[in-house]
Amino acid sequence: MIVTNHTQGKTSILPYSFQSVANREEIFVYCLSRSLTDRLSREFKAVVCIEILNVERFCTTIEAALPSGATFPESLGRTRIGHRVEYYRETEGGNRRWALPDVIAISKLDSYSWQDEYRLVFSLTDALGFEKVATRLVRNDATLAPQPTEHTHYDVKVRSLRDICRVHKFRVRTANGFRIARNAI
């Protein structure tokens, strides 16, 4: 945080940052990638990848399986479950993101852009609403470790997705060389 004392003509940097945190316990995020790369399979230790052939139909199917009161982020004037992640620089100054939990949920630091992420986001409450956040100043050296309670899950029961998905198997390194992963579906 940069502070300017106009009477003394001095500028200083305070060791604090502004932090805006959405109600994580009430927002569900399912992360996918728009790319099929060796780096993704290596970094996530993946043995298979499920390619979604019809993203619109996939999202519509998931939305339809959720309770009628479920809420979704808005993009381009349309409320929906699926969104391409918006990557931003850590040095980026003030922006609109701090007051918008739905935008926070579909944003990520630019250093993760190699993941080419797409997210399904929903809430069963109003947690995605404007200014439904907790704000505070934190010391720059403070880190917030994820808490196990933050990682709740919500099972969504849908029909078979075989007609709009394809399985890709990866070679997995073993002590004796390589093996092909078994079909996970």
With a CB cutoff of 8 Å and minimum separation 6, the contacts of 47 are 169, 170, 172, 181, 182, 184
Considering its fold, how many domains does the chain have in total? 1
Structural domain contains residue 51: yes
Q: Give the pTM.
A: 0.76
Q: Which pLDDT score is estimated for 145?
A: 61
64 in helix, strand or coil?
Answer: helix
Q: Which pLDDT score is estimated for 62?
A: 95
Structural domain contains residue 15: no
Q: What is the pLDDT of residues 11-49, one digit of tens each?
A: 888 787 777 888 888 999 999 999 988 899 889 888 889
Structural domain contains residue 90: yes
Q: What is the pLDDT of residues 103-152, one digit of tens each?
A: 999 999 999 999 999 999 999 999 999 988 888 888 877 666 656 666 77
Structural domain contains residue 142: no
15 in helix, strand or coil?
Answer: coil
pLDDT of 3 strictly over 90: no
Q: How far apart are alpha carbons 42 and 177 in whole angstroms?
A: 16
Structural domain contains residue 6: no
Q: Are 26 and 127 in contact (CB under 8 A)?
A: yes
For 13-25, give one letter per residue: b (16+ CB within 10 A) or e. Answer: eeeeeeeeebbbe
pLDDT of 96 strictly over 60: yes
pLDDT of 75 strictly over 90: no
Structural domain contains residue 97: yes
Q: Which domain holds residue 116?
A: 20-136+149-180
Structural domain contains residue 118: yes
